[in-house]
Amino acid sequence: MKSLIMTRDGLQIADTPTPPLMPGYVRIEVRSVGISRTDLKIWSGEVDVDLPLVLGHEIAGVVHESSDPEFKAGVPVTTESHLSCGSCFHCRNKKKHLCRAKKKLGFTVDGGMTEYLCVPSELIHKLPDPIDFLTGTFVEPLAVAIETYTRATVNPEEQVLVIGTGKTGLLVSQVFDAFGADVYLLGDNQWHLGVARQVGLGNILKRFEDWQKKILSATNGVGPSVVVEATGTHEGLQIALDIVRSDGTIALSGRSENNFNLDTRTIIDREISLFGTARGDFDMAIMMLQKGRIEVKRMISKQFSLEQGTQAFEAATKPENLKVNINI
């Protein structure tokens, strides 16, 4: 089978053995895989992992062969990406994604930029109609966005500021909006802001305008009770700390490989809570996509084949492209 392999010399297409089906596993015939920010950081060398490695953890495809009668050949599916040990404290307490011994698809074990991939059947979720393969690659990041909403405990019609207009920012904004929050989206990328409008987000704040005035006016001068930081930058975190209401919450949704200087005095004096989210409820994400509550296909800017892997990654770094998928 063909695989797109990340090596010290960049991405290469290679013939690799089809993975054998082990008991309790499902072999997925991959149809589409999203390029995530983590994939891009491995590709650019910003994140160091053991190479060679097949990247990709936002995966959709069909069951090719299965040792679990629940998943018949040909059924459309997606997969969770955390492979846990099953016996540690977190695994025994239904928090398998926090397993200290976990492996992650496309990070510590081979991921989805390949024709076939074997994963434990407990990680597989069916994709019901009308969820197609492109939409299916959004289940994993959408699940995380839903969990961010759940943990932020925002009240209906309460103002929420989302900083960042990439895939995460737009998914989080749509989730908070779908659950009734009054979402304000802050960004400076004109292409991404255009997509934000297309997916129905109304309160767009442009970074280089007087956006603070607008959000303060909407919140009686006290600032939003919840701010979601989805840029993964120190600047984004500083904006969040400056604007969040005292006694408010900041959700950290943008991953960064850098350590930030944290203004702990502000956090203590203004009683601000911070939290992060690594995994969410796949079933809820699938349900929201099935019911059309979240618009994801307009977020896909470009699509490439597996053989065009390098072009796909180059395209994914361009500011005009919000999301790039590889179809197999």
Q: Give the footprint of Zn ion on this chain (CB under 5 A).
A: 84-85, 88, 91, 99
Nearer to Zn ion among residue 99 and residue 161 (C-beta): 99
Nearer to Zn ion among residue 2 and residue 90 (C-beta): 90
CA torsion through residues 277, 319, 195, 307, sign: negative
| Residue in the shown chain whose Cβ atom is closest to Zn ion | 99
Query: DSSP secondary-structure letter at 299?
Result: G
Kindly state the smallest distance separating residue 83's Cβ from Zn ion, in Å. Answer: 10
Buried b (16+ CB within 10 A) or exposed e, 11-49: bebeebeebeeeeebbbbbbbbbbbbbbbbbbbeeeeee
Query: DSSP secondary-structure letter at 231?
Result: S
Length of the chain: 328
| Tokens read off for 157 | 């019609």
Nearer to Zn ion among residue 85 and residue 262 (C-beta): 85
Nearer to Zn ion among residue 84 and residue 174 (C-beta): 84
Kindly state the smallest distance separating residue 289's Cβ from Zn ion, in Å. Answer: 29
Per-position DSSP letters for 116-155, written without gaps between them: EEEEEGGGEEE--TT--HHHHTTHHHHHHHHHHHHHHTPP
| Tokens read off for 12 | 């290469």
Nearer to Zn ion among residue 22 and residue 101 (C-beta): 101
Q: How many CA atoms lie within 13 A of 81 on its CB side?
A: 29
Kindly state the smallest distance separating residue 101's Cβ from Zn ion, in Å. Answer: 5
Kindly state the smallest distance separating residue 229's Cβ from Zn ion, in Å. Answer: 29
Kindly state the smallest distance separating residue 107's Cβ from Zn ion, in Å. Answer: 16
Nearer to Zn ion among residue 98 and residue 204 (C-beta): 98
Kindly state the smallest distance separating residue 92's Cβ from Zn ion, in Å. Answer: 8
Neighbours of 244 (CB within 10 A): 25
